[in-house]
Amino acid sequence: MAGFNVHEKMLLWAKAGISNYQILRAATIVPAQFFRQDKKWGSIEIGKDGDVIILEKNPSEKILNIGTFETTICNGNVYAKKVVLNSLY
């Protein structure tokens, strides 16, 4: 799952009563399992591939926190630029 569209869907799922835990799983490990790639990506484990987004605030506490990017690690490069997606709130 990627892009702003995913963030919008996650917020809609929260409004529909889906738990934050279920929403975060739907955005990470569930797609990996669907594509039978969960041994390669979908969760953070030693030996797995993947890009990582580090958030300033915990999305398991409040799903709106998915828009508080602190650092991004993509293809082994670290981008430590803090960005807040105010347009989603």
Bridge partners for 72 per DSSP: 53, 79
pLDDT of residue 5: 81
pLDDT of residue 6: 81
Domains in the chain, number: 1
Q: Tell whether the model's pLDDT for residue 37 goes beyond 90.
A: yes
Q: In angstroms, rounded to a whole number, what is the distance separating the alpha carbons of residues 19 and 31? A: 17
Average pLDDT over residues 22-48: 93
- Reported as a single tens digit per residue, the pLDDT across 63-84 is 999 888 888 888 888 888 665 5
Q: Nearest Cα to 2, choosing from 27, 25, 19? A: 27
Model confidence band, residue 86 (pLDDT cutoffs 50, 70, 90): low
Q: In terms of residue numbers, what domain contains 40?
A: 4-88
Average pLDDT over residues 36-58: 91
